[in-house]
Amino acid sequence: MSDTRREPEYRLYLDESGVHAYSHLHRLSQRFLALLGVWFRRRDDYVALADSLNEVKRKIFGPRPDDPVILHRADIINTRGPFEVLRDDRVRSDFNNRLLRLIDEARFTLAVVIIDKLVHQRRYVKPDHPYHYCLAAMLDRYCGWLNYNRVMGDVMAEARGGREDRLLELEYRRIYENGTRMFPQPRHHHQPVLTSKKLKVRRKADNIAGLQLADVLAYPVKQQCLLQRGLIPDPGPVFGREIAGVVEPKFNRKYGEVSLSPCAGQFPA
């Protein structure tokens, strides 16, 4: 099947929250890995998001044509680099409000897959790579949505490092060519709607709006899903819960519901 059959109408942007290693799993901060994906219709909805994000950055950080601000949750939380301006309460409040409004107004669909690495490791003699396990579940849902809507799309993930990127690209191609446990016949599920057998991988410095949105959403959405299932303590009123509340209506209910694996199958968002 050609790798350039036609231009994809949709693109899925991926980012993770947590680490893939099977270590220190007694710590809640290490136990769960989430893979979050957002997808947009590229020619209008995604362009609108990118324009709106640039406007927010310009309002908060000023014009920076040669050194664009890249949204990264860890830098935002720790007010590092250009995010030092957020130490001013008024600026932070303005930034938070603009970010919430941008997320609320943006037109995209959302899915998240969360794996409990502790349960997964105990259940299987040779447990799957957690990130790859989540990728398979995510592609099943994304391709289900594409098939249901009779459109085509591709996939982009943020670079995580040389070896990890190569392994992820190989896993994506393996799914494209061989399918998954849920859909073992890729010719009927994955291949008809994915325009490429190659995963697009881009660096954080490339200033990709979709990857930045996924980065900002991954942790708060994961935490809210775990909180709803009583798997973590209630952190109280935090900004992440406001973000999770804003995106809740954007979850794909039919072909991309929240999956918490392998604890108890699939759950509605």
The DSSP symbol for 127 reads: P
* Alpha helix ranges (H) inside the chain: 28-31, 47-61, 73-77, 89-105, 117-123, 130-149, 162-178, 186-189, 209-228, 239-247
- Alpha-carbon gap, residue 121 to 26, rounded angstroms: 12
Peptide bond into 262 cis (omega under 30): yes
Q: How large is the average pLDDT for residues 10-32? A: 85
Residue carrying the six token digits 């599920």: 189
Q: What is the pLDDT of residue 30?
A: 76
pLDDT band, very low/low/confident/very high, at 252 (cuts 50, 70, 90): confident
Does 260 score more than 60 pLDDT? no
- Alpha-carbon gap, residue 42 to 120, rounded angstroms: 36
Residue carrying the six token digits 């990857």: 211
Structural domain boundaries of the chain? 10-261
Q: What is the pLDDT of residue 21?
A: 73
Q: What is the pLDDT of residue 254?
A: 64
pLDDT tens figures, 144-179: 999 999 999 999 999 988 888 999 999 999 999 999
C-beta of residue 168 within 8 angstroms of C-beta of residue 131? yes
